[in-house]
Amino acid sequence: MTDEPLLEFREVMRRLRAECPWKAEQTHRSLVRYLLEEAHETVEAIESGDPDHLREELGDLLLQVYLHAAIAEQAGGFTIDDVARDVNAKMVRRNPHVFGDAASGTSAEINDAWQAIKAAEKDRASVTEGLPASLPALLYADKVLDRLARSGRPVVPEGDGLGERLLALVVEARAAGVDPEQALRDVVRRLLL
């Protein structure tokens, strides 16, 4: 054991990739299901309020990140250091109120600045470019509505079909500052108590 657990973990993942037949066979694509599973288990741990459970699940999620980086490194691509370097640069760039000359503001102003910087970096051809259509439907609707509002196209759902009514509820949740996905999960969880 070292005093540098992240460096040690990088070496553990490299060794597992080299010496464990199962891990050596894995690809980015074959690991997608595990990445999704660990992300969902992390959400569950957060919602449970159990810090020990959260710590464990964050470790499992981190394992996925390091394993994907080990696969990429072995293929001659990027390394975990490249991943960290990129995200460090992104955080500095997108937080000029902390790392630059921009004045700090309210949380909403900071989020608006973040979104503007991100939009300039991405230079998207369409409002939905970069949004995975495989997101859970409520989250996808919320993200699309956010992007449309930022582009000056607020949505007013028309019609009384089930889809339109669901979209209207997402619009209502956004107006109230409520995460519709989280609100529904909370209600369903209470049903199971």
- The pLDDT tens digits for 6-24 are 999 999 999 999 999 999 9
For the chain, which residues make up each domain, given as ranges?
A: 5-78, 126-193
Better-predicted residue by pLDDT, 173 or 112: 173
Q: Which residues contact 177 (CB under 8 A, 6 or more apart)?
A: none
Residue 1: pLDDT over 70: no
pLDDT tens for residues 89-143?
A: 999 999 999 998 888 889 988 988 888 888 888 877 787 888 988 888 999 999 9
More confident residue, 118 or 54: 54
CA 80 to mean position of chain CA atoms: 18
pLDDT score for 2 = 64
Averaged pLDDT score across all residues of the chain: 92
Mean pLDDT on 144-170: 91
125 residue type, one letter: A
Give the pTM.
Answer: 0.80
Residue 5 CB burial class (10 angstroms; 0-12, 13-18, ≥19): exposed
Superfamily of domain 5-78: MazG-like (1.10.287.1080)
